[in-house]
A and B are shown apart, each in its own frame.
Chain A
Amino acid sequence: MSQKYELTLKIRRHDPDTGQSWVQDYRLIAGRILRFVDLFQKINDEQDPTLAWNSSCEHGQCGTCGMKVNGKAVLACELLVENAIKLFKTQTFTVEPLTVAPVVHDLVINMELAYERVHLVKPYIIEAAPEHPEGDEYRISPRVLGTYVEATRCINCFCCATACVTQKNYLGPNAMLANIVRLMDPREAAKQERMDILYGNQGIPRCHTARACSFVCPKEIDIAHFIGLAKEGNFK
């Protein structure tokens, strides 16, 4: 069998019935390759079934399990015990919910509210560009696709929005990215509407180029690069 570690998780809790918040310590022994989602499951199974947290696919594709560990916004399914110990140089971890929406229960926040920022930027083709003359698919060269395909990998986990230095009155890095994708997508004809969103008062003026978004993105998307393109006036 392989290496096991003694861990202490200091989890920020909140009870919706009493309105109380507090930090609760959980001690557990875990194998090196367990993910933090496995740790929460272990806590539910062995110590405290009331600890509330969210996850779904548990392999970094759906973006459901975002939270802050030792202050850093991460996907709990991608943080392995052994890597966490190396990264944070400790076996004690503070765990808190993301900051982009009010807390509902423990690590569960009201993500529906956070998602409204993404809905605002209309994550779809608003107005389709004219079809290809042959009537089948648009032609998009791999080189053109290559300029924005990385940005399409965003799963709206809101880690970037949590790490961002602008927490209020801002669409947030992920919503900005969704808008920029369609600005760069040749199939979108509603460029002016998208430019208005991009440079509106909840958009570019709010970004202070701290680049925290790129730093924390679990999908390793260079979000700041795309917002930087906007700042340099690359879109017309």
Chain B
Amino acid sequence: MGRKLQIDSVLRTEVLVIGAGGAGLRCVAEICGRRPGTTIVAATKMYSPQKSHTSTAQGGMAAVDPNDPVDKIIYHMFDTWKGSDCSADQNIIKKVCESGWEQVLWLERHGMHFSRTEKGRIAKRPFGGHMLNFGEVKAFRACYEADRTGKGIMDTVWGESLKHGVVFLNQSVAAELLFRNGRCIGAIVFMEQNGKFVAILAKATIMATGGKTRMYQVSSNCRQNTGDGLALVLQAGLPVMDLEAVQFHPTGIVGPGILASEALRGEGGILRNKDGEPFMEWYAPTAKDLAPRDLISRCVMTEIREGRGCIHPDHNLPHVWLDLRHIPEHVHKTRLQEVCSFFRKFVGVQPECELCPVTPTAHYQMGGAPTNEFGEVQRDAEQIVPGLYACGEFAAASLHGHNRLGTNSLLELITMGKVVGERVAVYLDDAEDPGDVPKDAGQHVLGRFSRYLESEGKERYAEIRDTLRVLMTEKVGVFRNEKGLTEAIEELKGLKDRAAHMKLSSKSLAMNQESVRFLELDHLLDVSMIIAQCALARKESRGGHYREDYPNRSPEFHYHTLAYMTEYGNVTLGRRPIDMSIFEARGEHYEKFGIIERKY
């Protein structure tokens, strides 16, 4: 019963945005502002862009007001450089930190409901890794909307997109990029509701598909974050960068891995082990509970490994405690309203008077599709792919190197989103028409869905997915070593073979969620292989990537990892230099931007 799948319809537009979260829609708003009347189609897996994962971000966005009496942009730049473990690109750090305040004002003018000071101005809060005077004392740098800053950003950029008449293609999964003579001319999307394939031809394609940590057992990410964008670029023979840098956020709520924002520690929360000891005092004497996330995650895991953690009776997962009992009641009720409610709702714990169980949760992707400072996607360290752009968590410009500071991601969405929008608006004026759908278009996505429909195998999706999660958590998680990584690579090949023998229960593609699960699993397996191989190749520890067999950072590895994979398991590695332009400019404080120690 072979049914021939085909491209069911063709859509033409000037701009295609894949992913309609904070970065994608900030970019869209910029294009609309500069070039009114531009036709834009934004494709999203969600049924409304407002539902994107950006809307769940909590803590805040860092931005230094040039008029601030104590904080300076150069401190923010330094904190970002140090936080990245010396692998972020300094030209990007400079660009983002310098434009941060302007973008915060853009959001405020367009209606974001920032929390305010007594005088009615945008309020600020402290956050891990953000300090004054090059690491002396905590800085009040993050602007916030209670503990739902992401929602504020999402609502604002979504509103602007509605205002400008952007066309949304909801419940659609981009499954193959289209090219002509090396230029990206659009993509094929699978429409979940009616099971049809639509080819979208565009002059410019922007990818903003967000994060991917659903291959881990405990993840803060939403169900849709399955690395689809990464799989797409890999499929097209393009590289991904620094995928070994996965951020494990130290305070995920035990069980589902729901994020308990760093803001809890910003407002005074303290981590304690099973004996009630405030262990961060030993590991990071200055920053303590506001040390960067990768450090704290390792400290929590060390406490657990050395027998000072607890086991949760309902979830059978190890954890430590977060103590919020001493924080004033009005702070619980206002600045930490949402996140305190999570403990009440999902674990049955009252944070005002009980200890909260937390454990590291796979949270953020520092790496992604490599771009230059304009968000133009690169095919290698030197060349870009005309017509293809990327921003937000999906892209690696790279702002974060191998570790991201809290509140720098939301900052990245709006600054780089604007940068890409600005660049695309210029590109569009001279860009040629993309032409017709290429003759070989669809071979990846149609072939893949045909296989799903035809497979008669006995493998079970849930089993493969769960095995993947345990494997990744144990061997490619917070602590890595050569033996574990080598085993993981072999086991992943086995899982990919098994995944080819899963059978769909229904052969209709209309609203067939199981078929989308199969596609997502394929993508997760692809991305997991890259993470494992890049982690094996980087024989040092840097930021979120920690090797027990190589626990120190090494100057030998002072570069970005590029990885290509068009055939499963066959990964080609490359390098991209780290931009050191602030250091090389020899301006004031340039020495702070050399290869520096990372102690807190």
Contacts and interface: CB of A to CB of B under 8 A. Distances in A.
Interface of A is mostly: loop
B454 interface: no
B148 A142 contact: no
Interface in A80-105: 80, 104-105
Interface in B67-122: 105, 108-111, 113-122
Nearest to B342: A59
A5 interface: no
Interface residues of A, number: 62
B222 A137 contact: no
A180 B111 CA distance: 14
B46 A153 contact: no
A88 to B, nearest CB: 17
Given A33-B314, A80-B346, A141 B256 contact: no
B159 A124 contact: yes
A108 B48 contact: no
B258 interface: yes
B346 A59 contact: yes
Interface string A26-44: 0000011101001000001
B505 A145 contact: no
Contact of B510 (A17, A140, A188): A17
Contacts of B533: none
Interface in A46-91: 46, 48-50, 52-64, 78, 80
A108 B111 CA distance: 32
B338 interface: yes
Contact of B121 (A62, A137, A185): A137
A215 interface: no
B506 A1 contact: no
B555 interface: no
Nearest to B116: A142
A153 B148 contact: yes
A145 B156 CA distance: 17
Given A50-B505, A61-B151, A56 B346 contact: no
B224 interface: yes
Given A145-B116, A156-B48, A31 B162 contact: no
Contacts of B113: 145, 149, 152, 185
Contacts of B347: 33
Contact of A104 (B193, B258, B505): B193
Interface string A150-172: 00110110000000000000000
Given A59-B258, A124-B163, A152-B113, A31 B51 contact: no
Nearest to A78: B345
Contact of B119 (A1, A16, A56, A139): A139
Interface in B125-172: 146, 148, 151-152, 155-156, 158-160, 162-163, 170-171
B50 A141 contact: no
B565 to A, nearest CB: 28
A-B residue pairs, 8 tightest by C-beta: A124-B159, A45-B462, A139-B120, A105-B511, A111-B47, A61-B56, A59-B258, A56-B222
Interface of A: 1-2, 16-17, 31-33, 35, 38, 44-46, 48-50, 52-64, 78, 80, 104-105, 108, 110-112, 115, 119, 122-125, 128, 131, 136-142, 144-145, 149, 152-153, 155-156, 182, 185, 187-188
24 contacts: A1-B316, A2-B313, A33-B315, A35-B346, A49-B514, A50-B505, A50-B514, A60-B342, A60-B345, A61-B148, A64-B51, A105-B510, A108-B511, A110-B193, A119-B162, A122-B162, A123-B158, A124-B111, A124-B159, A136-B105, A142-B115, A149-B146, A152-B152, A185-B113
Given A60-B345, A108-B511, A138-B109, 6 more contacts: A1-B316, A61-B148, A61-B151, A78-B345, A139-B121, A155-B151
